[in-house]
Structure 1
Amino acid sequence: MMTQLVLIGFMGAGKTTLSQALGAATGLPVYDTDDLVAAAAHQTIAEIFAAEGEAGFRQRETAALAEALRHDPAIIATGGGIVTQAENRARLAALAIPVVQLTVTPAEINRRLAGTTDRPLFQENWPALLAARQPWYATSANHLLDTTGRSVPALVAELQAILNEKAG
């Protein structure tokens, strides 16, 4: 039986926080594509962006997604831009496991990411980035979960229900 779940969504939606909490609640291992990219490159995401640009990072991110999906069981947290690559959108849309798009209001994104310095694309015009990516998130996911103003335990309970529904 496959026990996998993938979290996608924009920066600040809660992918890392919820993947860690869900992993702790279920005992399932957690794979974060950003962590996999950084570990494989022996560099931070910011260093990869500086050295290779966004294109280089996205290439590494695609490989990290493929690697993460080889693990079963697994909770997989993706980077906010995973859907910018057509190959990743097709791979996610074709999965027979829960691919959950986490959504969050722009005001909540601002609140959660205020003062952040480790997200190269957050410094740019992120509302336009969010608008551009939204259709890609929608076509890549098979579940939707709004994280705005909700507690981590409540969201983890919903994610567990999604996992149990798929396993049952």
Structure 2
Amino acid sequence: MSGTGAPGADRIDGAGLRVGVVAASWHDQVMGGLVDGALRALAEAGVSDPVMVRVPGSFELPVVAARLARSGLDAVVALGTVVRGGTPHFEYVCQAATVGLTEVSVQTGVPIGFGLLTCDTAEQALDRAGLPGSHEDRGYESTQAALRTAVTLRDLAGALPPGGDHHVVPVIG
């Protein structure tokens, strides 16, 4: 199970953070669980009024995540589900979405919560969707990761010495 070794469950203070959630529309039941988990994590962290955007599929996540990241948000959560079929389409979509979301984060400096499920079967996706009986809640977990990173960046901005002399950086988080 991929959930072993997860970071601690200490409370995240996300008050004042501006966060966007972009969610694909394929696999309605799975996506409902992922979105619910993301919204629950945001509420628990004190994030109010997140921007919610739906897109057709997981391939479209990076372009909308990029627009959200460039709009001044502190973090973006990308949620999607790709289930393996009988063609190479699975590999193309998974790679394009993963590389695209990584590039958005690195190029903008905005954390992207990676809530893209890449599963062999629909049952695996349901097991990770945070639904009753699921073993994982990837919507919640990916949102927490984005929030923790946004808080770290906020704290780091206040801890770096002025003038660009960053040879000695205090440990944050």
TM range (shorter): 0.3 to 0.5
Bigger CA radius of gyration: 2
Please state which structure has a larger fraction of its residues in helix: 1
Instruction: Answer 1 or 2: higher relative contact order, Cα 8 Å, separation at least 6.
Output: 1
TM-score normalised over the length of structure 1:
0.39
